[in-house]
Structure 1
Amino acid sequence: MDVNGVIGYLSNYGMIFLFIVILLEYLNLPGFPAGIILPVAGIWVANSNHSFITALIISVMAGLIGSCALYGLGLFGGEFLLKKYVNKFPKQGKYIEEKMEFLRSKGNLGVFISKLIPMVRTLISIPAGVIRLNFLEYSIYSALGILIWNGAFMSAGYIFGDIVLKNLM
């Protein structure tokens, strides 16, 4: 699907489509990566009567709900899942332990930093649950990281979207 296709879905389904796609992305489920959907959402907002702030808040809420769901997965079954994963892929054990140690040493600051790194930003929620970071603090640091990430990508589309659209046509 191309930019015009995503804009078409946003035009037809609006903020609900934005929420669902961002939620799925933060749940690590297949779909559109945020690096694609968020700038396109910015383009859509810039060329519609929708509010940038509303779209950003909806994207942050979707990201936070997805992150909290993965935190819960880590909290209530993450150790078991990580052990099974390491047994299946033993070479990944060192990498996983490094990330767990990073969270143990940095705490919620590590969550915030991780929310700004591609691929790590969605996966970090499971180890955060496994090591039982304070949920309220985890949620605040996650929301701040998600706000910066989503805001940067959505702003890029909002500001530079006309250039992209002109080059596509």
Structure 2
Amino acid sequence: MSHLTTLVVHHGLLSIFLLMALESCCIPIPSEVVMPLAGFLAFRHLLGFWPAVLVATLANVVGSLVAYAIGNYAGRAFVLRYGRYVGLTPRHLERAERWFQRFGEATVFFGRMVPAVRTFVSLPAGFARMSIARFILFSVLGSFVWNLALVYGGYQLNKHWQVLADHVKPFTYLGAAILVAALLWFWLRRRSDQRAE
């Protein structure tokens, strides 16, 4: 996480474009870290608010088109065979495919706002040979809403940071304990999933 922070702080919009394009191209980079940080920098006048949202949205579409093309031309077997090199497990792909089967093409819009699904949603759209025009439209809309919400959240968090810090201070130790427990649970679950596969 510290490397992502350093990258965004020192390279601004270029790093946002790179990171968000990679995220949409099935590389598990957390936009939940990158874009609130962009909002934080926007509040500090080190980055433009709207440029950050628009660059991230453009990057998401570019990365999504790459993933869509892989799904469309290389197919499911190729993705399953080589996906592990970028952290894509069969479970990730099955989850994205279930969403696509359940909600159809609207998944490309709504899936952009669901962690984990958003990273891989372009693959089943490619498998299904979804209309490229509708794919781009839904990708733009979903990515814009997601990025706007995250940048705005980071902006507002920084704006009200002192007030928040004063209220949260009594819960610092409790929050730290919960965070450690959550990280431990996530790590154990991931190891269990890896053994099952």
Which has more radius of gyration?
A: 2
Counterpart residue number, 2:67: 70
- The normalised TM-score by structure 1 is 0.78
Q: CA RMSD in A?
A: 2.7
Distance 1:159 1:71, change over 3 A: same
**1:27–1:69 Cα contact (<8 Å) kept:** yes
Q: Which amino acid aligns with 1:20?
A: L
- Indicate which of 56, 59, 84 corresponds to 1:59: 56
Q: Which amino acid aligns with 2:136?
A: S
Counterpart residue number, 1:152: 149
1:21 aligns with 2:9: no
1:119 aligns with 2:137: no
Percent sequence identity is 25
- The normalised TM-score by structure 2 is 0.68
By relative contact order (CA 8 Å, sep 6+), the higher-ranking structure is: 1
Q: In the TM superposition, what is the alpha-carbon distance from 1:83 to its structure 2 partner?
A: 6.3
Distance 2:41 2:115 in 1: 23
Distance 1:102 1:120 in 2: 8
Counterpart residue number, 2:7: 9
Distance 1:104 1:9 in 2: 37
Structure ranking higher in helix proportion: 2
Give structure 1 stretches of 5+ with no counterpart.
86-91
Instruction: Write the mapping of 1:73-92 to structure 2, written as runs, cut at 5 A.
Output: 73-81=70-78, 84=81
Tell me the matched-pair count: 156
Q: Which amino acid aligns with 1:29?
A: I
Distance 1:17 1:149 in 2: 18
